Amino acid sequence: MSFTRLDATRRLMAMLDKEPVIASLGHPAYDLFAAGDRPENFYTWGSMGLASSMGLGLAMARPDLRVFVLDGDGSLLMNLGSLATIGWTRPPNLILIVWDNGEYGTTGGQETATRHGADLEAVARSMGMQTATTICTAEELDAAVARARTTPGPWTIVARVDENIPTVKPPLDYVMITKRFMSAIRVEAGSSDPAPRR
């Protein structure tokens, strides 16, 4: 039975409250939008590989928030160093979900290395994330997300999913995405910095 990335994204989002979610470009972002637009969603439109890095920065800046990242296997493979940095800095409030469909879905379905032996859970473990896990079903996703929401991380959840062809795309107004996101998590640009305003 198929378990698509869109199925998984919908299932995840139904479990979340107001947690910020940063999505990697292309299909992971499209499916996040399809699952339901909300101001706490940050849709990237480029910068392949950097969703987990951005999530790390947000998690360090805002320890009061539980930060979700929706990455892809191809994107994470482009920035494996990010796992080393997350494993070193160990933000307990970062939850990295990797949609692992074994292909570069957004660019036409070319195979990724995870279809040929690369094991992203094992990479995350080797970088210090002993809680890393791989899930293959909706029920396993529910259980892993429930655990990640209630116990300290950083979490890496590699979700084996099937590719689906998204039919909708998030807004192309990038500045709106930034400002709406910051407002939703209650940040005015520079508001929490300690520098005196002139």
Partner 1 sequence: MTTGSARATAWASAVCAGLHAVGSRHIVYVPDNPLSHVLRVLGEDYRDITTTLATREEEAFGIAAGLFVGGMRPAVMLQSSGLGNSINALTSLLIPFQIPVVIVISMRGDAGEWNAAQMPMGRAVRPILESIGIPHVTAESPETTAETIRAVGEMAFSSNLPAACLLPRRLTVPS
Contact criterion met (CB below 8 Å) for 181 and 20: yes
Shortest distance (Å) from residue 35 CB to partner 1: 21
C-beta of 98: minimal distance to partner 1 in Å? 16
Cβ-based nearer residue to partner 1, 110 or 191 = 191
Of 50 and 135, the one with the shorter C-beta distance to partner 1 is 50
- Least CB distance from residue 18 to partner 1, whole Å? 15
As measured in angstroms, the least distance from the Cβ of 177 to partner 1 is: 7
- Is the Cβ of residue 22 or residue 141 nearer to partner 1 in the bound state? 22
Token digits for 16? 């979340």
Q: Which residues bind partner 1 (CB under 8 A)?
A: 22, 42, 44-62, 65, 79, 81-82, 84-85, 88-89, 174-175, 177-178, 181-182, 185, 187-195
Please say which residue, 88 or 117, places its beta carbon nearer to partner 1.
88
Smaller CB separation from partner 1, 81 or 152: 81
User: Cα Rg for the chain, rounded, in angstroms?
Assistant: 16
CB of 142 to partner 1, least distance (A): 27
Which sign, positive or negative, has the C-alpha torsion 12, 18, 20, 24? positive
The DSSP annotation for 38-102 comes to -TTEEE-SS-TT-HHHHHHHHHHH-TTS-EEEEEEHHHHHHTTHHHHHHHHH--TTEEEEEEE-S
Shortest reach from residue 42's CB to partner 1, in Å: 7
Query: In this structure, which amino acid lies at residue 124?
Result: A
CB of 10 or CB of 62, closer to partner 1: 62
d(CA 97, CA 63): 18
Q: What six digits make up the tokens of 12?
A: 């995840």
Sheet-wide strand order for 21-23: 41-43, 21-23, 67-72, 94-100, 155-160, 133-135
Question: What are the two backbone dihedrals, phi and then psi, of residue 73, each rounded to the nearest 5 degrees?
Answer: -65, -40
